[in-house]
Structure 1
């Protein structure tokens, strides 16, 4: 059961990374050309908030794996 949880967490992490990469590229394009078509500012803000929530969830899920164990 623990391996299934770990696999699910890894899939969520990969999904988040694959969303962050195109978002950051599109946001960079938005800064360069603010009036470019199909780049609505309101949608960028909503999508950015969703990505921040996913990053927070990933941090909460993976932080126990990286903590030092005291002997």
Structure 2
């Protein structure tokens, strides 16, 4: 998502996009709502939704891939 922030020094360049469609908020899938768009999707993402966990800088994340890397 941070790559999608427009920059003043890249005039004329296309912003990066995420493949796929955003989740249907009226009919969310079982598991993580971003599973169809994520390049780090795993079987766990299709079964349960990740919970929000804090970063050290106060931001929040909800991703099994990040949790698995952090626990190594």
- More strand per residue: 1 or 2? 2
Larger radius of gyration: 1
* Alignment TM-score, normalising by the size of structure 1: 0.24
* Alignment TM-score, normalising by the size of structure 2: 0.24
Greater relative contact order (Cα 8 A, min sep 6): structure 1 or 2?
Answer: 1
- More helix per residue: 1 or 2? 1
